[in-house]
C-alpha cells in the first residue's frame, strides 16, 4: 500500500433508493459489497441501480470530480435540502422541443407548481415570462462546465439570478453564480447525483415532499427514435420513478418513452390552489478555510502516490521511446501494478477521485488494463500516471496560491 | 491493408464532422491504403454520406457496444473529439493493441482553450496515452503539454476546391456582406447588424446575409435587433444550407464578428472564393489571416472598427479584389486533400510504431 491513510468518509444511513443513488454516485464502491449496510428499501433497489451503474457508467460516473479545484472558490455558504411545504407538484423543465408545446399550459398552472430547471431552462422560461423556483447548476464533466463559463462571456444568464433558489454542485465554477444573492445559493445535501442534471433534479424533487414530479422538455429524442446518447439518463429516470411512491409524469409530448413515467394525457396538472414557496432546510456549509484545510491534508496524503506515479510515468516513457529491454518492461510493469494496487484501499480511491479529481486511474481500478498488451502497457500507464502527477502538482500549486492570497 | 477506426462524437453537420467526411472522400479517390470504419456516439445529418464512403458506420453510445467495437482487430484508432476521447480513450489504451491517434481541433476543448485560456488537465493526459497527437495549428499545439516528438500539426482543413473556381468580386458585385456561421450568441452576429446600420447612410445598398443553422432561437433575436436598428430590409437570415458558393458569389466581402472561434471553416471557404474577410481577432484566426493582407482583423465587440473595415472593402473594389486574391492563395494551403494526406501519414506511422513495439 502506498501512503498512510487517515481520512475516513462519514457514511450516512442508507435507507431509501434516493440514499442509495447518492451513495453509488460517490463512486466510492467498486463492487456492490462496498456499498455498506443498506436499509430494506435501499436493498430492494440495489440490484437494478447497481446494474445500471455498471452497464451505463461502467462503475464510475465521475459526477463529483473536480479537476479544476473549483470547490475551493465555491461561494455558497449554505447546504441543505429543498422542501415543498404543501407538497405542491414539482415540474422539471428542460429545453427539449416539448417545452415550446407545453409553455402555455405551464403558464396557466404556474401558481400551483414549483419549477425546477437548469440555467438554460431558466432562460427559456424567462423568455416566456416565467421565473424558476430552483435552478440547478451541474455539469457532466469539468470540460462541459468550462464551456458554460466561456458561454457566459457572450450570453449572460440573468434568469438564474432571479430564481428563488440556486442549487449548485460543490465543484461548479463560481463564475456561473456571479450575482446570485448568497441567501438563495446552496449546495444540495443530500446530492443524489450521477452527473446528469435532470435526474439529479428529479431526485431532489422526490426528496422535497412533493406529491408529484412532472417532466417538461426532457424529451431524450422522439417517441419513434429515442436518442441513444441519452440512454443512461433515460435508465436513471426510470429507476427513480420505479423506486418512489410519488407519481412521476412525463408531459414531454412526442418525446421518448421513459418506462415508469406516466405519459400526461389530460389537459392540465392536478392542482390544489397556489403553491406555497419552496423552502430550504439549510445549515452552514463547510467554510472555505475548512475546504482548504481538507485539500491540504489530501495533497499531503497523496504525496507518496504522486511520487510513485511520477516513477511510473518515467518508466512508461522509456518503453514508449523504444527501450524494450526486459529491465525496462519489468520496471514499468512493477510500477504500474503498484498504482493499480493502490485502488484496493477505499480511502486512497476517495482521495484520488475527490481530492485530485483524477479520472483515469480510477477507471483502471474498475476495468483493469489487459495484461496481454505486453510492452504496449506503456499507454494506459502513461495516461493514468500523467494525470495523477499533474493533478497533484496542480493541487499543490493551487493551495500555495491560496496561501499567498487568503 | 491497414484497418482504421475513426471515432467521432456525432455525425451531425458540424465543422470537424464535415471536414473528416471530406478527408474520407479524398482517401477514396486514392489507391486504397486502409479500410475505414467509423464509430459515432450519435447520428446526424451526415450519416448517409458517411455510410457512402466508409467501410462501415456504427452509431452507438452504449458503453458495452463501444467497448466491443474498439476491441476489433484495428491497426489504428483515431479519436477526433474531446468528449468521446475522454470517455473511451482510457478503455482503448488499456485494452486494444491498436495504435491510438488523438486529434485536437477547434472543438469544445480547443475552442475554450484558445479563447479563454481555460485549461483542462485531463485532456493533456489523454495526449500522453496516445501514440500520436494531431493538432489543427501550431498555435493550438503550443497551448498543450504534450510529448513533443508525438505532436503532429496537420493544418486546418477545409473543402476549398469548389470555391477556387468562383470568379472574384468586381466593381459590379453589389455591396453585399455574407456571414456564414451558426446563429448563436457566441458569434456576436448582432454586432454585424449594428455595423450595417452605421454603413447604411453612406452605402444605401449595403446588405448582409446570414447563413447558418439556428438551434438556440438566435435568429429571432437577430431579426429583433435588425428591426430595432431600422435595417430589417438589409438583413437576410436564410438558415442553414450546405452549399454556400452561391451566397459567396453574390457578396463582396465575408464578415464574422464572433467572440469565440478556432479557425472557422466557413472563413477559409470564403477566402478560397477570393472574398476578403473582416473577422475578429479571436482563437487562432490570426494563423491564417494577416491584418491588412487577406482582409482585416478587429477586436470582438468593436463595432466601430468592424463597420470601418467593411466600409473600406465595400467602397474600394480594387483593394477588395487584391485582398481577395491574397485570401485565395492562402486558402489553397488548407485544402482538405493536402491535410488528409498528412493525416494518413500520421496514422500509418503510428500503426507501424505500435506494431513494432507489439512484435518486440
- pLDDT tens across A175-200, in order? 999 989 999 999 999 999 999 999 99
User: Across the interface, which of B59, B100, B112 has its CB nearest the CB of A379?
Assistant: B100
pLDDT at B71 over 70: yes
Nearest to A229 among B61, B82, B115 (CB): B61
Q: What percent of chain A has pLDDT over 70?
A: 94
Cβ pair A154:B259 closer than 8 A: yes
Q: Angle between the B63-70 and B82-95 helix axes, to the nearest 10 degrees?
A: 60
- pLDDT for A270: 66
pLDDT tops 50 at residue A7: no
Can you state the angle between helices A40-57 and A231-242, rounded to 10 degrees? 170
A152: pLDDT confidence band, cut at 50, 70 and 90?
A: confident
Q: Which of B59, B100, B109 is nearest to B78 (CA)?
A: B100
Contact flag B122-A359 (C-beta cutoff 8 Å)? yes
Residue B134, strand partner residues: B103, B152
Q: Between A226 and B276, where is the model more confident?
A: B276
Whether A136 contacts A119, CB under 8 Å? no
From A67, A147, A386, residue closest to B108, measured CB to CB: A147
Which DSSP state fits B97? -
Q: How far is CA A222 from the centre of its chain?
A: 26
Nearest to A324 among B123, B131, B360 (CB): B360
Name the nearest CA neighbour of B8 among B53, B64, B50.
B50
Q: Which residues from B are below 8 Å from A141, CB to CB?
A: 83, 86
State the Cα–Cα distance between residues B147 and B126, nearest whole angstrom: 11
Distance from C-alpha of B317 to C-alpha of B245, rounded to nearest angstrom: 20
What pLDDT is recorded for position A267?
62
Contact at CB, B112 and A146, closer than 8 angstroms: yes
Averaged pLDDT for residues A227-233? 90
Q: How far is B157 from chain A (nearest CA, A)?
A: 24
Residues B185, B171: Cα–Cα separation, whole Å: 34
Q: Mean pLDDT throughout B8-34? A: 90
Q: Which of B129, B188, B260 shows the shortest C-beta gap to A150? A: B260
Q: Over the stretch B290-327, which tens digit does the pLDDT of each residue have? A: 999 999 999 999 999 999 999 999 999 999 999 999 99
pLDDT at A404: 61
Residue to mutate among A143, A316, A390, with most B CBs inside 10 A, is A143
The partner residues of A168 in beta bridges, in order of sequence, read A137
Per-residue pLDDT, A5:
37
Q: The dihedral of CA B134, B136, B139, B140: what is its sign?
A: negative
Residue of A36, A2, A1, A7 lying closest to A310 (CA atoms): A2
pLDDT classification of A1: cutoffs 50, 70, 90: very low
The torsion angles phi and psi of B56, rounded to 5 degrees, stand at -155, 155
Provide the 8-state DSSP code for A224: S
Q: Which pLDDT score, from 0 to 100, does residue A10 have?
A: 57
Handedness of CA A324, A325, A328, A329 (dihedral sign): positive
CA pair distance A170, A191, nearest whole angstrom: 10
Query: CA-CA distance, A149 to A378, in Å (whole number)?
Result: 35
Check pLDDT > 70 for residue A252: yes
pLDDT category at A4 given cuts 50, 70, 90 is very low
Residue A402 has pLDDT above 80, yes or no: no
Contact A359 B111 (CB under 8 A): no
Confidence of residue B122 (pLDDT cuts 50, 70, 90): confident
User: What is residue A368's DSSP assignment?
Assistant: P
In angstroms, rounded to a whole number, what is the distance separating the alpha carbons of residues A199 and A49?
A: 13
Question: A379 vs B185: CB contact, 8 Å cut-off?
Answer: no
CB within 8 A of B143, min separation 6: which ones? B113, B114, B119
With CA atoms as reference, the chain B residue closest to A374 would be B358
Residue A195 to chain B, least CA–CA distance (Å): 14
Question: Which of A1-10, A224-233, B53-62 shows the lowest per-residue confidence on average (mean pLDDT)?
Answer: A1-10
Q: B124: which chain A residues are within 8 Å (Cβ-Cβ)?
A: 386, 390
Residues of chain B in contact with residue A147, where contact means CB-CB under 8 angstroms, are 108, 112
- Whole-prediction pTM value? 0.90
Q: How many CB atoms lie within 10 A of CB B121?
A: 19
Q: Which residues have a Cβ under 8 Å from the Cβ of A65 and sit 6 or more positions away?
A: A141, A142, A171, A353, A357, A358, A359
Cite the beta strand spans of A238-380 per DSSP E: 248-250, 262-263, 279-284
Question: Is residue B138 pLDDT above 80, yes or no?
Answer: yes
Confidence of residue A240 (pLDDT cuts 50, 70, 90): very high
Query: Considering only CB atoms, which chain A residues are within 8 Å of B118?
Result: 146, 149-150
pLDDT surpassing 70 at residue A271: no
The helix/strand/coil state of A98 is helix
B116 vs A370: CB contact, 8 Å cut-off? no
Q: What is the pLDDT of residues A344-364, one digit of tens each?
A: 999 999 999 999 999 999 999
| Chain B interface mutation, best of A97, A152, A360, highest count of B Cβ atoms under 10 Å | A360
Q: Give dist(CA A166, CA A53) in Å, integer.
A: 28
**Which residues have C-beta within 8 Å of that of residue A79, sequence separation ≥ 6?**
A186, A187, A188, A189, A282, A283, A284, A285, A286
Choosing among A57, A150, A382, which should be mutated to test the B contact, i.e. which has the most B CBs within 10 A?
A: A150
Nearest to A67 among B122, B145, B354 (CB): B122
Chain B residues with CB-CB distance to A367 below 8 A: 91, 94-95
A366 has a pLDDT exceeding 80: yes
Please report the pLDDT score of residue A8 as a whole number: 41
CA distances from A184 to A72, A85, A165 (A): 19, 17, 5
The pLDDT of B268-274, averaged and rounded, is 97
pLDDT tens by residue, B139-187:
899 989 999 999 999 999 998 999 999 999 988 889 999 999 999 888 9
Give percent of chain A with pLDDT exceeding 90.
83
Domains assigned to chain B: 2-157+335-359 (3.40.50.2000), 161-332 (3.40.50.2000)
Instruction: Quote the pLDDT of residue A265.
Output: 72
**How close B31 gets to chain A, by Cα (Å)?**
30
Assess whether pLDDT exceeds 90 at residue B241. no
Question: Tens digits of per-residue pLDDT, A88-124?
Answer: 999 999 999 999 999 998 999 999 999 999 999 999 9
Which of A373, A374, A394 minimises the CB distance to B121? A394
Q: What is the mean pLDDT of chain A?
A: 92
Q: Is A362 exposed, middle or buried (0-12, 13-18, 19+ CB in 10 A)?
A: buried
Angle, CA of A370, B134 and B66, to the nearest 5°: 40
CA nearest neighbour of B311 among B281, B169, B303: B303
Contacts of A315 in chain B (CB under 8 A): none
Mean pLDDT of all residues in A360-378: 94
Amino acid at each position: 500500500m502506498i501512503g498512510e491513510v487517515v481520512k475516513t468518509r462519514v457514511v450516512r444511513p442508507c435507507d431509501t433508493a434516493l440514499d442509495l443513488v447518492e451513495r453509488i454516485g460517490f463512486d466510492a464502491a467498486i463492487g456492490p459489497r462496498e456499498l455498506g449496510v443498506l436499509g430494506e428499501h435501499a436493498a430492494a433497489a440495489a440490484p437494478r441501480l447497481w446494474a445500471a451503474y455498471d452497464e451505463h457508467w461502467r462503475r464510475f460516473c465521475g459526477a463529483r470530480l473536480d479537476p479544476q479545484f473549483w470547490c475551493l472558490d465555491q461561494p455558497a455558504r449554505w447546504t441543505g435540502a429543498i422542501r415543498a411545504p404543501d407538497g405542491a407538484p414539482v415540474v422539471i423543465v428542460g429545453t427539449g422541443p416539448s417545452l415550446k408545446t407545453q409553455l402555455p399550459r405551464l403558464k396557466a398552472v404556474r401558481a400551483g407548481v414549483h419549477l425546477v430547471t437548469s440555467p438554460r431552462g431558466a432562460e427559456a422560461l424567462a423568455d416566456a415570462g416565467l421565473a424558476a423556483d430552483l435552478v440547478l447548476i451541474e455539469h457532466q464533466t469539468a470540460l462541459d462546465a468550462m464551456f458554460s463559463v466561456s458561454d457566459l462571456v457572450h450570453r449572460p444568464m440573468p434568469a438564474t439570478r432571479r430564481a428563488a433558489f440556486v442549487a449548485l454542485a460543490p465543484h461548479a465554477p463560481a463564475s456561473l453564480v456571479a450575482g446570485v444573492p448568497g441567501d438563495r445559493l446552496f449546495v444540495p445535501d443530500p446530492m443524489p447525483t450521477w452527473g446528469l442534471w435532470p435526474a439529479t433534479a428529479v431526485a431532489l424533487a422526490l426528496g422535497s415532499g412533493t406529491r408529484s414530479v412532472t417532466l417538461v422538455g426532457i424529451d431524450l429524442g422522439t417517441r419513434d427514435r429515442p436518442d441513444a446518447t441519452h440512454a443512461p439518463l433515460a435508465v436513471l429516470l426510470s429507476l427513480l420513478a420505479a423506486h418512489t411512491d410519488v407519481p412521476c409524469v412525463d408531459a414531454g409530448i412526442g418525446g421518448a418513452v421513459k418506462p415508469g413515467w406516466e405519459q400526461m394525457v389530460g389537459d392540465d396538472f392536478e392542482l390544489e390552489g397556489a403553491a406555497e414557496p419552496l423552502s430550504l432546510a439549510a445549515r452552514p456549509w463547510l467554510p472555505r478555510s475548512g475546504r482548504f484545510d481538507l485539500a491540504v491534508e489530501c495533497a499531503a496524503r497523496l504525496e507518496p502516490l504522486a511520487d510513485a506515479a511520477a516513477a511510473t510515468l518515467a518508466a512508461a516513457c522509456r518503453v514508449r521511446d523504444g527501450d524494450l529491454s526486459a529491465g525496462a518492461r519489468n520496471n514499468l510493469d512493477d510500477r504500474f501494478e503498484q498504482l493499480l494496487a493502490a485502488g484496493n484501499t477505499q480511502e486512497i480511491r476517495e482521495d484520488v477521485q475527490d481530492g485530485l479529481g483524477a479520472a483515469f486511474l480510477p477507471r483502471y481500478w474498475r476495468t483493469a488494463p489487459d495484461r496481454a498488451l505486453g510492452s504496449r502497457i506503456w499507454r494506459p500507464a502513461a495516461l493514468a500516471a500523467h494525470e495523477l502527477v499533474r493533478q497533484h502538482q496542480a493541487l499543490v500549486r493551487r493551495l500555495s496560491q491560496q496561501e499567498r492570497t487568503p | 491493408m491497414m484497418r482504421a477506426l475513426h471515432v467521432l462524437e456525432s455525425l451531425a453537420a458540424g465543422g470537424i464532422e464535415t471536414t473528416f467526411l471530406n478527408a474520407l472522400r479524398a482517401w477514396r479517390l486514392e489507391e486504397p491504403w486502409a479500410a475505414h470504419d467509423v464509430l459515432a456516439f450519435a447520428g446526424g445529418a451526415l450519416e448517409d454520406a458517411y455510410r457512402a464512403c466508409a467501410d462501415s458506420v456504427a452509431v452507438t453510445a452504449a458503453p458495452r457496444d463501444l467497448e466491443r467495437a474498439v476491441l476489433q482487430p484495428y491497426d489504428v484508432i483515431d479519436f477526433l473529439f474531446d468528449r468521446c476521447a475522454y470517455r473511451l480513450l482510457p478503455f482503448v489504451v488499456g485494452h486494444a493493441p491498436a495504435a491510438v491517434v488523438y486529434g485536437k481541433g477547434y472543438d469544445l476543448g480547443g475552442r475554450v482553450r484558445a479563447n479563454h485560456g481555460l485549461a483542462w488537465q485531463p485532456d493533456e493526459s489523454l495526449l500522453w496515452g496516445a501514440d500520436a497527437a494531431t493538432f489543427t495549428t501550431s498555435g493550438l499545439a503550443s497551448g498543450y503539454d504534450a510529448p513533443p516528438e508525438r505532436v503532429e500539426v496537420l493544418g486546418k482543413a477545409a473543402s476549398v476546391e469548389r470555391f477556387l473556381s468562383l470568379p472574384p468580386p468586381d466593381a459590379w458585385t453589389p455591396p453585399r456582406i455574407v456571414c456564414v456561421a451558426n446563429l448563436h450568441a457566441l458569434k456576436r452576429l448582432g454586432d454585424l447588424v449594428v455595423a450595417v446600420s452605421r454603413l447604411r447612410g453612406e452605402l444605401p445598398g449595403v446588405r448582409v446575409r446570414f447563413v447558418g443553422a439556428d438551434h438556440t432561437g438566435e435568429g429571432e433575436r437577430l431579426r429583433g435587433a435588425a428591426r430595432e436598428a431600422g435595417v430589417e430590409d438589409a438583413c437576410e437570415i436564410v438558415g442553414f444550407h450546405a452549399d454556400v458558393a452561391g451566397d459567396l458569389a453574390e457578396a463582396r466581402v465575408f464578415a464574422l464578428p464572433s467572440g469565440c472561434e478556432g479557425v472557422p471553416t466557413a472563413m477559409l471557404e470564403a477566402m478560397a472564393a477570393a472574398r476578403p474577410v473582416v473577422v475578429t481577432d479571436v482563437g487562432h484566426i490570426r494563423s491564417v489571416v494577416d491584418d491588412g493582407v487577406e482582409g482585416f482583423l478587429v477586436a470582438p465587440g468593436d463595432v466601430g472598427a468592424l463597420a470601418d473595415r467593411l466600409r473600406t472593402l465595400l467602397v474600394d473594389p480594387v483593394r477588395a479584389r487584391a485582398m481577395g486574391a491574397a485570401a485565395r492563395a492562402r486558402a489553397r494551403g488548407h485544402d482538405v486533400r493536402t491535410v488528409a494526406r498528412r493525416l494518413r501519414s500520421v496514422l500509418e506511422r503510428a500503426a507501424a510504431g505500435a506494431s513494432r513495439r507489439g512484435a518486440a
